[in-house]
Amino acid sequence: MVRCGGVFDRRAELIERLRRGPVPAAAGKPAATRWTLARVAAALPWLAGYSLSGVWKLLRGSGIRLRSARVQAYSPDPDYEQKVEHLCAVLREASHAPGERVVVFVDQMGYGRWPQAASDWMPEAPTPVRVAERFASNERKWRLMGALNAQTGRVDTLDNYIVGRKQVIQFLGRLNAAYPQASRISVVLDNWSIHQHPDVQEALQALPRLDLVWLPTYAPWLNPIEKLWRWVRQDALYLHRDAGDWNTLQQHLHAFLEQFAAGSTEVLEYVGLLGDGLLAQARRGR
């Protein structure tokens, strides 16, 4: 037993009660899904008379904190394990034949004229844009397709107002030309239907060095370029000042990505291809 504020801490009872969740605040009303200090005090008779500050101190003294839930990463793909092992095998093979065997992770992201909201250091919050003013401007939506080289960190991109089968075919041809010395280029893709379009499959027949490697369904954590997109948004799109100049916005975005055109260890580290993770180990041949 641990003393907390002069009262024996009934920790086991408290934890068990918290696990069962809050009860309805009144008859005929649904129960809340989360605890508050007031709900904790009301749920346990022996806390009657405690102030909210006292309940907070009791919880803290019992080792109970306000914690954030974590999203459970889960793929429903019945072939998940086999696809992961195939991906790792491709990375291991490439580690033993650098330059001859190339692995690129491919994905798409979208962006628009208006900056995404984020926090920043400033003396005062910026003046909000009026709705009428925003809708009076052409929003402009754009798509960006990219490939991240798993060995070097090189980034190749193609952007257009839309990314469909024509752009995918064009980008695959660009990847084929980007690595003239490679005997095989493994292109890691998600299960977007365009990737398996008959026109795309027909175009691949003229690109025999390209080998498509399919990720498990709904498994973005296995595609490191997703983390590169996060970096792009954080450093090139959040709170940007170019909403009124679309050309300048695109130039800044292209300049950000072009710094990785010749490869980047910094990119590999940022996206998790260096270190002790599953893909990083496979990339090193383990």
Structural domain spans, the chain:
2-61, 80-283
For the record, the structure tokens of 10 come out as 């009934």
Three-state SS for 40? helix
For the record, the structure tokens of 56 come out as 């907070």
Task: List strand residue ranges (DSSP E) for the chain, in order.
Answer: 2-4, 7-9, 101-112, 141-149, 155-160, 184-189, 210-214
C-alpha distances in Å from residue 2, one per residue of 17, 35, 51, 59, 106:
18, 23, 20, 12, 55
* Interhelix angle 246-258/225-232, nearest 10 degrees: 130
Q: Which of the 8 DSSP states describes residue 47?
A: G
pLDDT, tens only, 3-29: 444 445 588 899 999 998 888 766 777
**What is the pLDDT, as a whole number, of residue 184?**
97
For the record, the structure tokens of 231 come out as 């970096």
Per residue in 60-81, is it b (16+ CB within 10 Å) or e — as a string?
eebebeeeeeeeeeebebeebe
pLDDT tens, residue order, the chain (286 aa): 344 444 455 888 999 999 988 887 667 778 788 999 999 999 999 998 899 999 999 999 889 988 887 777 789 999 999 999 999 999 999 999 999 999 999 999 999 888 888 888 888 877 766 655 555 556 778 999 999 999 999 999 999 988 999 999 999 999 999 999 999 999 999 999 999 999 999 999 999 999 999 999 999 999 999 999 999 999 999 988 888 888 999 999 999 999 999 999 999 999 999 999 999 999 999 8
**What is the pLDDT, as a whole number, of residue 135?**
52
**What is the pLDDT, as a whole number, of residue 5?**
46
**What is the pLDDT, as a whole number, of residue 9?**
56
**What is the pLDDT, as a whole number, of residue 6?**
43
In the beta sheet, which residues pair with residue 158? 145
C-alpha distances in Å from residue 37, one per residue of 34, 52, 181:
10, 6, 65
Instruction: Pinpoint the alpha helices (H) of 21-130.
Output: 37-43, 52-61, 80-95
What amino acid is encoded at 282 in this protein?
A: A
In the beta sheet, which residues pair with residue 7? 4
Kindly give, in sequence order, each residue whose CB lies less than 8 Å from that of residue 187, ignoring residues fewer than 6 positions away. 104, 106, 147, 172, 175, 210, 211, 212, 213
Number of neighbours of residue 276 by Cβ within 10 angstroms: 9
What amino acid is encoded at 156 in this protein?
A: D
Kindly give, in sequence order, each residue whose CB lies less than 8 Å from that of residue 104, ignoring residues fewer than 6 positions away. 147, 148, 149, 150, 156, 175, 185, 186, 187, 188
Looking at domain 80-283, its CATH superfamily turns out to be Ribonuclease H-like superfamily/Ribonuclease H (3.30.420.10)
